[in-house]
Amino acid sequence: MKVMIVVTHLLGTGHLSRALTLAKAFIQAGHEAVVVSGGVPAPQLDPGDAALLQLPALRSDGVNFAQLLTAAGNPVDDAMLYGRLDALLSSLDDQAPDVLITELFPFGRRVLRAEFIALLEAAKAQDKPPLILSSIRDILAPPSKPKKAVFADEMLERFYDGVLVHADPRITPLHLSWPVTEALASRLHYTGFVAPPVSDSPTDAGKSEVIVSAGGGDVGRDVFAAALEAAAGDPARPWRLLLGGADAAERCAALASQAPDNVIIEPARPDFRAMLHNAAASVSLCGYNTALDVLQAGCPAVFVPFDAGNEVEQGIRARALAQQDGITTINSADLTPERLRQAVQKVMDAPDRSPMTTGLDGAAETVRITALLLETQR
Q: Are residues 11 and 134 in the same domain?
A: yes
Q: What are phi and psi for residue 283, nearest 5 degrees? A: -120, 125
Note whether 217 and 187 are same-domain residues: no
Residue 295 φ/ψ region, left for φ over 0, alpha for ψ in the -120 to 50 degree band, beta for the rest: alpha
Closest to 184 in 3D by CA, of 160, 155, 153 = 153
pLDDT tier at 199 (50, 70, 90 boundaries)?
A: low
Phi, psi of 131 (to 5 degrees): -65, 130
Encoded amino acid at 181, one letter: T
Q: Measured between alpha carbons, how far is 365 from 370 in angstroms, rounded to an integer? A: 8
Residue 216 predicted with pLDDT over 80: no
**Do 302 and 216 fall within a single domain?**
yes
Tell whether 230 and 136 lie within a shared domain: no
Rg (CA), the chain: 21
pLDDT at 153: 96
Instruction: Give me the percent of the chain exceeding a pLDDT of 70.
Output: 98
Domain assignment of residue 61, yes or no: yes
User: Nearest 5°: CA angle at 197, between 196 and 198?
Assistant: 115
The pLDDT value given to residue 200: 64
Whether the CB-CB separation of 184 and 121 falls below 8 Å is answered with: no
**In total, how many domains does the chain have?**
2
9 Cβ contact partners less than 8 Å away, ≥ 6 residues apart: 15, 16, 37, 39, 40, 42, 217
Indicate whether 179 and 32 sit together in one domain: yes
Residue 354 lies in a domain: no
What's the rounded Cα separation, in Å, for the pair 212 and 208? 13
Residue 355 covered by a domain: no
**Same domain flag for 165 and 267:** no
Determine the Cα–Cα distance for residues 52 and 5; give it in Å rounded to an integer. Answer: 10
Which of 24-33, 60-69, 249-258 is least confident? 60-69
Per-residue pLDDT tens digits for 122-176 = 999 999 999 999 999 999 989 989 999 999 999 999 999 999 999 989 888 999 8
Question: Are 334 and 373 in a shared domain?
Answer: no
What's the distance, CA 224 to chain centroid? 20
**What pLDDT shows up at residue 155?**
97
Q: What angle do CA 333, 227, 213 make, to 5 degrees?
A: 90
Buried b (16+ CB within 10 A) or exposed e, 41-74: ebebbebeebebbebbbbbbeeeebeebbeeeee
pLDDT of 206 over the 70 cut: yes
- How many residues make up the chain in this entry? 378
Q: Which residues contact 226 (CB under 8 A, 6 or more apart)?
A: 335, 336, 337, 340
338: domain CATH number is 3.40.50.2000
* pLDDT value for 134: 98
Question: What is the spatial order of strands in the sheet that 210-213 belongs to?
Answer: 263-267, 239-243, 210-213, 281-284, 301-303, 327-329
Has residue 27 got a pLDDT over 80?
yes
State the Cα–Cα distance between residues 183 and 129, nearest whole angstrom.
22
User: In this structure, are 53 and 178 located in the same domain?
Assistant: yes
CA distance 84 to 158: 23
DSSP sequence for 41-58:
--TTS--TTSEEEEPSPE
Residues facing residue 205 across a β-bridge = none
For residue 11, pLDDT beyond 90: no
Q: How is residue 125 annotated by DSSP?
A: T
The closest alpha carbon to 168, from 308, 288, 252, belongs to 288
Instruction: Work out the mean pLDDT of the chain and round it to a whole number.
Output: 93
Whether residue 219 is found in the same domain as residue 102:
no
Is there a domain that residue 367 lies in? yes
Are residues 174 and 237 both part of a single domain?
no
Mean pLDDT throughout 223-231? 96
Q: What is the pLDDT of residue 170?
A: 85
Report the percent of the chain where pLDDT is more than 90.
79
Residue 245 lies in a domain: yes
How many Å apart are CA 92 and CA 88, to the nearest integer? 6
Q: How confident is the model at residue 330 (pLDDT cuts 50, 70, 90)?
A: very high
The whole domain housing 314 covers 210-349
* pLDDT (0 to 100) of residue 129: 96
Same domain membership, residue 161 and residue 20: yes
* Three-state SS at 98: coil
Domain-located, residue 204: no
Tell whether 187 is covered by a domain: yes
pLDDT above 80 (res 246): no
pLDDT digits (tens, 9 = 90+) for 270-325: 889 999 999 999 999 999 989 999 999 999 999 999 988 778 889 999 998 999 99
* 60: in domain: yes
**pLDDT tens-place string over residues 83-125:** 999 999 999 999 999 999 999 999 999 999 999 999 999 999 9
Cβ neighbours around 188 below 10 Å, total: 16
For the segment 194-221, the average pLDDT, to the nearest whole number, is 83
Burial of 179 (0-12, 13-18, 19+ CB in 10 A): middle
Residues 112-134 as b or e (16 or more Cβ within 10 Å = b): beebbeebbebbeeeeebbbbbb
Whether pLDDT at 56 is above 90: yes
* 29 compared with 171, residue with greater pLDDT: 29
Q: Is the pLDDT of residue 261 over 80?
A: yes
Contact partners, residue 132, CB within 8 Å, separation at least 6: 99, 100, 101, 102, 120, 123, 124, 159, 160, 161
**Taking residues 359-364, what's their average pLDDT?**
93
pLDDT, mean of residues 68-84? 93
Residues 296 and 178 placed together within one structural domain of the fold? no
| pLDDT of amino acid 368 | 98
Q: Is the pLDDT reported for residue 208 higher than 90?
A: yes
